Amino acid sequence: MGLLDGKSGVISGAGRGIAGATADLLAAEGAQVVIADLGVDVDGTGADTSVAQLKVDEIQAAGGEATALQANVTDSDACDNIVQTCLDTYGKIDFAITAAGILRDRALVNMSDEEWQGVIDVHLNGTFFLARAAARAMRQQRFGTIITVTSISQEGNFGQTNYSGAKGGIASMTYAMAVELSRYGVNVNSVLPSAFTRMIASIPGQEEFDVGKMQPGSAMGTAEHVAPLFAYLASDEAKWITGQVIALGGERLALWQHPREKMVITQRNGFSLEDLRRAIPATFKGRLEPSGMAQTSYREIDFEAVAAKK
């Protein structure tokens, strides 16, 4: 018996990387999976039509069930077809994982329109198109789970104005979709993965990841380290979770906090320019948020130590 026996769903970008490892695990846990992958290079160029079918062949060789589909998630009709393929093949759609992604890194002042638009199209539009198609089917069914994919880059990373913007947008979309779809019994969450994949390897200065040298508490691991979170969120055991961003990578599992006011001051009749010149330095100085993902600090809990005390 697998955790996902009887479930069926779609995963975009599932021919390789984190989504590919996720497809392997979901199928091993009993799910029927539509593998939607255009087979493009990291920057979104080219197309290898064999990528999706090769992943299906691997899953079937391991005893699982899957269907291959070459689909461009920047095309709304293609995303409708991804969902319809699942409905036609397996009779329903229990989960949709929007994991397709590309990178076109460049410093802001040098970033071209094409580098900006390409990343926004695949990540932000691709997430919207596939989530919308899945939501329409799930609303009729009155059940289902949508899992988007965000990134720590939403905090801001040099050379990734396009990617950071798209991933921050995906997190906010997740919150909104969860609010809208809860009345239909549909859960929406976002996974923030951290794993050494071909996308990470394409970033200049990145060293090849050696899992044998992974430091205790490391947030960087392999695609296989991340896949279990997708499997759990797609299962009935996670039906109590919606509207959340949950991170997993290496040995670190984290629940992310939603954007919110940090501190508030009020004044009757509002603030004039002179009021702001006094109030902002007096109140906010020394309390500004650090800028960029390199400035992130974490509150850590050692799960094994806590469990040992119970």
> What's the one-letter identity of residue 182?
S
| In the chain, beta strands by DSSP E | 8-12, 32-36, 65-69, 95-98, 144-149, 186-193, 245-249, 252-255
Given the residues 163, 175, 184, 298, the one annotated as active site: 163
Closest CA to 19 of 190, 173, 226: 226
User: What whole-number distance in Å separates Cα of residue 145 and Cα of residue 128?
Assistant: 14
Residue 243 tokens, joined? 């509207």
Identify the three-state secondary structure at position 275: helix
Q: Give yes or no: 90 in active site.
A: no
Residue 182 DSSP class: G
What is the full DSSP assignment across 21-59?
HHHHHHHHTT-EEEEE-----TTS----THHHHHHHHHH
The residues that are catalytic are 163
